[in-house]
């Protein structure tokens, strides 16, 4: 069996100096810039981001319970405006982008939902060319709050939390409407994040129930300020949160494989960082190996709940006086989520970072499925196998030492769906990714041990 396996595998010999060659850069070798992505990034404009943010603030409050205020005020007025922006963008898509508002009623729960309340998600779907249902989601929430999460009267500008995420999603939709994407992209603004991720929970559940192969959610929530509470400036740093272990994690297998930093969400985070840092300099991603900040959560967690990979982008240092606060001055300190604290050059960089990673993933072939590392025998070598991926013309094995956090080397392996590597499976971590004819590289699959 093993001989048959080896005869069909591409044999790769590696010089002893392999790891001596490792560069400090976390952008792996062989990446070239795709002019389509460069062009998409070039459409991002801080002035129109500011105009969109101002528009969202002008609805006064976007609190979940402000739905009946009408006449340019409240969460549903904001919803209708976001829908109209998506429709404008869709009109340039030659019929490829479909826009919808999904409204459902959340029953009162005696806690954060004091009464039955209608909640809407605003969704734009850009169909991919692939036969499969492979889908990426770029998400945000458009509801806002002040000091009370049920106050629908007082102002709740939510300039940063989370108009910033919505304007990034709108900018990405505008930038990518012409993209010849293989995978489907869903651009979405969720309702009722502040009442417990209700809009995203509803959406992620319905994607799961429809059997959609979501290979990543890129969530943007609080991505608008580059200045921390001590006045510290971080104009070029973006945090990327990702969960350690998926809901279906098998602890025994994870311990065996040493895979505790290799969940699908982590691979997505590494990918976002690699492509973001490649295309969207000077912005640099900072990987945070944690689901979210302490005491906080976000819509990416609704995707985790369904077993989907997801990441959250957040500004580098948050000022909590500017979040979930009534607009007021107290002891000479200004509280509130005001536009004064936004940096639209920073938001533009965040949008470019999103576009780079999302477009790269949607143009590339998907993640290889059923990736395995053979552990049937005691050897000092490594044998890998995986299923063929739609659109792939070749594959790459990526490698790192077990105590490194980033992939440090790539080994092209040709068109075969297995590979033999002359490095001990006991001493390194391996991943596999698919490459298309134009050189687009997909997200890495981490192989499970097979006996
Ligand atoms: Zn938020």
Q: What is the pLDDT of residues 60-119, one digit of tens each?
A: 999 999 999 878 999 999 999 999 999 999 999 999 999 999 999 999 999 999 999 999
Give the strands of the sheet with 135-141, arranged side by side.
Answer: 97-106, 117-126, 184-190, 135-141, 214-220, 310-315, 237-241, 284-288
Asked whether residue 1 carries a pLDDT value surpassing 60, the answer given is: no
Q: How far is the CA of 162 from the centre of ligand 1 (A)?
A: 5
- Name the pLDDT band for 220 (thresholds 50, 70, 90): very high
Cα(130)–Cα(324) distance, integer angstroms: 42
What dotted CATH number matches 35-363? 3.40.630.10
- pLDDT at residue 30 in the model: 60
Q: How far is the CA of 302 from the centre of ligand 1 (A)?
A: 14
What is the pLDDT of the chain when averaged over all its residues? 93
- pLDDT at residue 23 in the model: 32
Cα(338)–Cα(160) distance, integer angstroms: 8
Q: How far is the CA of 14 from the centre of ligand 1 (A)?
A: 47
Q: Where in the chain is the domain with CATH 3.40.630.10?
A: 35-363
What dotted CATH number matches 2-30+368-450? 2.60.40.10
Q: How far is the CA of 424 from the centre of ligand 1 (A)?
A: 45
Residue 352 three-state SS: helix
Q: How far is the CA of 247 from the centre of ligand 1 (A)?
A: 23
Q: Where in the chain is the domain with CATH 2.60.40.10?
A: 2-30+368-450
Measured in degrees and rounded to the nearest 5, phi and psi for residue 450 equal -125, 130
Summary count for the chain: helices (H), strands (E): 10, 18
- Name the pLDDT band for 29 (thresholds 50, 70, 90): low
Here the tokens at position 377 are: 């025998």
Q: How far is the CA of 164 from the centre of ligand 1 (A)?
A: 9
Q: How far is the CA of 416 from the centre of ligand 1 (A)?
A: 44
Q: How far is the CA of 63 from the centre of ligand 1 (A)?
A: 12
Here the tokens at position 307 are: 């077993």
pLDDT tens by residue, 351-403: 999 999 999 999 999 999 999 999 999 999 999 999 999 999 999 999 999 99
> Helices 344-363 and 264-279, interaxial angle, to 10°?
120
Q: Are 60 and 74 in contact (CB under 8 A)?
A: yes
- Name the pLDDT band for 298 (thresholds 50, 70, 90): very high
As beta bridge partners, residue 189 has: 122, 140
Asked whether residue 20 carries a pLDDT value surpassing 50, the answer given is: no
- pLDDT at residue 70 in the model: 76
pLDDT tens by residue, 179-206: 999 999 999 999 999 999 999 999 999 9
Q: How far is the CA of 356 from the centre of ligand 1 (A)?
A: 23
Asked whether residue 7 carries a pLDDT value surpassing 50, the answer given is: no
Cα(326)–Cα(323) distance, integer angstroms: 9
Asked whether residue 6 carries a pLDDT value surpassing 70, the answer given is: no
Question: What sign results for the dihedral spanned by CA atoms 165, 168, 173, 176?
Answer: negative
Please state the pTM of the whole predicted model: 0.93
Nearest to 120 by CA among 165, 164, 75: 75
Asked whether residue 17 carries a pLDDT value surpassing 60, the answer given is: no
- Name the pLDDT band for 24 (thresholds 50, 70, 90): very low
């Amino acid at each position: 069996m093993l001989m048959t396996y080896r005869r069909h595998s591409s044999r790769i010999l590696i010089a002893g100096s392999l790891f001596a060659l490792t560069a400090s850069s976390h952008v792996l070798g062989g990446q070239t810039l795709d002019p389509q992505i460069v062009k998409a990034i070039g459409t991002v404009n801080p002035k129109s981001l500011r105009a969109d943010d101002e528009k969202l603030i002008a609805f006064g409050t976007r609190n979940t319970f402000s739905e009946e205020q009408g006449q340019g005020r409240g969460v549903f007025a904001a919803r209708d405006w976001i829908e109209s922006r998506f429709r404008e963008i869709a009109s340039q898509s030659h019929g490829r982008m479909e826009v919808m508002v999904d409204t459902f009623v959340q029953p009162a729960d005696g806690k954060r939902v004091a009464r039955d309340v209608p909640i809407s998600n605003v969704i734009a779907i850009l169909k991919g060319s692939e036969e499969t249902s492979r889908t990426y989601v770029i998400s945000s929430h458009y509801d806002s709050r002040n000091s009370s999460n049920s106050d629908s009267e007082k102002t709740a500008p939510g300039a940063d939390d989370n108009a910033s995420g919505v304007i990034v999603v709108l900018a990405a939709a505008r930038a990518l409407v012409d993209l010849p994407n293989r995978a489907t992209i869903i651009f979405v603004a969720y309702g009722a994040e502040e009442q417990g991720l209700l809009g995203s929970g509803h959406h992620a559940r319905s994607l799961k129930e429809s059997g959609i192969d979501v290979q990543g959610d890129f969530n943007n929530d609080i991505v608008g300020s580059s200045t921390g509470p001590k006045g510290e400036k971080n104009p070029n740093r973006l945090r990327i949160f990702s969960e350690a272990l998926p809901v279906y994690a098998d602890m025994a297998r994870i311990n065996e494989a040493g895979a505790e930093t290799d969940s699908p969400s982590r691979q997505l985070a590494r990918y976002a960082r690699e492509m973001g840092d490649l295309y969207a300099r000077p912005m640099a991603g900072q990987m945070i190996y944690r689901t979210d900040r302490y005491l906080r959560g976000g819509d990416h967690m609704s995707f985790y709940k369904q077993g989907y990979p997801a990441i959250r982008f957040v500004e580098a240092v948050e000022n909590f006086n500017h979040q979930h606060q009534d607009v007021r001055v107290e002891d000479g300190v200004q509280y509130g989520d005001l536009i004064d604290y936004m940096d639209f050059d920073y938001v533009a960089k965040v949008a470019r970072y999103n576009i780079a990673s999302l477009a790269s993933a949607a143009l590339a072939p998907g993640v290889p499925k059923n990736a395995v590392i053979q552990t049937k025998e005691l050897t000092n070598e490594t044998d890998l196998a995986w299923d063929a991926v739609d659109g792939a013309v070749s594959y790459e094995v990526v490698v790192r030492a077990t105590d490194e956090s980033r992939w440090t080397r790539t080994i092209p392996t040709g068109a075969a769906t297995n590979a033999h590597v002359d490095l001990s499976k006991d001493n390194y971590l391996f991943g596999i990714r698919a490459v298309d004819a134009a050189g687009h590289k997909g997200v890495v699959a981490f192989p499970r041990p097979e006996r």
